[in-house]
Amino acid sequence: MWHGRFSAPTADLLLRYSESIRFDWRLWRHDIEGSIAHCAALEAAGLLTSEEREKIVEGLRGIGSDIEAGRFEFRTELEDIHMNIERELTRRIGDAGAKLHTARSRNDQVALDLRLYLRAECDEIAGRLRDLQRALTVLAARHESVVIPGYTHLQRAQPVLFAHHLLAYVEMLERDAGRIADARKRLNVLPLGSGAIAGSTIVLDRLLVASLLDFPEITQNSMDAVSDRDFAAELLAALALVAVHLSRLSEDVILWCSSEFGFLTLSDAYTTGSSLMPQKKNPDAAELTRGKAGRVFGALVSLLTTLKGLPLTYNRDMQEDKEPVFDAVDTIRMALEVNAGMLAGARVNEAAAAAAVADPMLLATDLADYLVRKGVPFRRAHEDVGRAVALCTSRGCRLTELSLADYQAITPAYGPDLFEIFDVQKAMAARKAVGAPSPANVRAQLERWQEKLNAG
């Protein structure tokens, strides 16, 4: 494509080093879509006849059909998806194909293709986030009344409804969906028409192209348009947070499936066994998700590191943007789908959960609240309950096994009704502040999410 300036061919070694067709081939659909819109602008400017435009569109669609069917041969010596398509188009239709690149550079062409690709992926990932939210909500509703210990520092803290715990992840994923929607708005701007750096003396109707490609805005600075990858970095940052949330969910699932917890059982379809130990059932889907989060973080760091020292405008370093972007998108798409499938077949071991929440230590804070309602300042109530816990520890007994006399020896504020505090169902019903896990609150939240998710 530049042989007019050069007298010797590019070294084979450099071709192998610099080609990107092995990974940017996936942009073919977006490259063709952008080229069809571009040739409409060329026709409007009088640079193509209607017959030439029709030949180009027909040729591009034919190439697209061949690629989709697996009949197209990508050529490494043509470097990238843009030249592979353009060269084949010219071979098929002749000189009309050679006119397609008028007033266009690969710099603004790839910027367009990447935006089109990521715009479509934002929509796909948003749908998969919704699918995972639905799976979490269905599992929560199936076990709506189950109470499990909540944990801080991985130590038993207070009782919570299992559904409330799952709905926490639904909330996280909703924030993720919002961030991806925000990123989509900022990437949904047309860069085509910016040329290599300074536009072109051949002026095309960029608003026409924007309309054809459904872009609500066009870029306003040609140098920024071809060098900008903020939109990709922003989306990777949003995906990195998705990965964080999936990894945290995975850790909970892994713990719950362990013999030590025993709260959850996954289906055989989403677990694996051991090549040595016949008794094993491993939560590999969750473990892989936890591990793959690092790949998404690495993709973000890789892109930021590539961009941080680049002068304006385009530099070949920017070819390194695509592999981390593609990998992060693929990883998150698959992880969301796998986790939705894994949770769809999960079931709660209600007996194990009930045994765990029978531990009266989970209601130690409720006991302090009991003293507060008797007029004891909270700090003193906290200390008094702590003394009761210490007494249990020394005796090897439970809070419910201390006598009223034992409690009143600590503070006379305790009365015979203190033992009512250890009724877990009453304790859960009392947690009725906004956002707290009372059964009534959780039911309302489940209904809210079911309505929202069923609406699309």
d(CA 376, CA 325): 58
153 belongs to the catalytic site: yes
3-state secondary structure (DSSP) of residue 72: coil
Cβ atoms within 10 Å, residue 310: 13
Annotated active-site residue in 50, 153, 259, 403: 153
DSSP conformation class of 102:
T
Annotated active-site residue in 65, 145, 267, 274: 274
Amino acid identity at 198: A
34, two tokens: 């952008």
Q: Judging by beta carbons within 10 Å of its beta carbon (0-12, 13-18, 19+), is residue 115 exposed, middle or buried?
A: buried
Q: Pairing relation of β-strands 347-348 and 147-152? A: unpaired
Residues near 362 by beta carbon (within 8 Å), at least 6 away in sequence: 149, 156, 157, 158, 159, 424
List, as one string, the DSSP characters of 136-190: HHHHHHHTTT-EEEEEETTEEEEEEEHHHHHHHHHHHHHHHHHHHHHHHHHH-EE
Residues near 232 by beta carbon (within 8 Å), at least 6 away in sequence: 114, 118, 187, 303, 321, 325
Q: Judging by beta carbons within 10 Å of its beta carbon (0-12, 13-18, 19+), is residue 41 exposed, middle or buried?
A: buried
E strand residue ranges, 304-441: 347-348
d(CA 362, CA 151): 10
Q: Which residues participate in catalysis according to the annotation? A: 153, 274
